[in-house]
Amino acid sequence: MFNPTSINDFKTLARTISVVENEVEGFELVLQQIQPNDIPVIGFTGPPGAGKSTLLNAVISILLEEGKKVGLVLVDPSSPFNLGALLGDRLRMSTHFNNPHLFIRSVASRGSLGGLSDKIMEVVEVMKAYPFDFIFVETVGVGQSEVEIAGLADTTVVVLVPESGDSVQAMKAGLMEIADIFVVNKADRADADAVINSLSFQLQLNQKENIPLLKTVAVESKGIKELIAEILKQRYSEKNNERKLILLAEKALRIIAKHRMKNFDQQQLKTQLQKQMNAPAFNLYGFLKPYL
Burial class (CB in 10 A: 0-12, 13-18, 19+), 282: exposed
C-alpha 90/C-alpha 148 separation (Å) is 25
| Segment 8-38, tens digit of pLDDT | 899 999 999 999 988 899 888 888 888 888 8
Tell me the pLDDT band of 265, cut-offs 50, 70 and 90.
Answer: confident
- Residue 144 confidence (pLDDT): 42
Give the range among 144-153, 172-181, 234-243, 267-276 with minimum mean pLDDT.
144-153
Q: What are phi and psi of 32, to 5 degrees?
A: -70, -25
| Segment 161-211, tens digit of pLDDT | 887 655 555 555 566 777 889 999 999 988 888 888 888 888 888 788 888
- Residue 275 confidence (pLDDT): 92
What is the overall mean pLDDT for the chain? 80
C-beta atoms surrounding 208 within 10 Å: 13
Q: Which whole-number Å values give the CA distances from 287 to 24, 48, 205, 281, 283, in the listed order?
A: 35, 39, 44, 10, 6
266 or 15: which carries more pLDDT confidence? 15
104 or 2: which carries more pLDDT confidence? 104
Structural domain spans, the chain = 35-261
Average pLDDT over residues 255-274: 86
Average pLDDT over residues 60-89: 71
C-alpha 134/C-alpha 103 separation (Å) is 11
CATH topology for 35-261 is: Rossmann fold (3.40.50)
- Residue 249 confidence (pLDDT): 78
| Segment 116-148, tens digit of pLDDT | 556 788 899 899 999 999 999 988 665 444 556
155 pLDDT above the threshold of 50:
yes
Sheet holding 70-76, edge to edge: 102-108, 70-76, 134-138, 41-45, 155-160, 181-184, 213-215
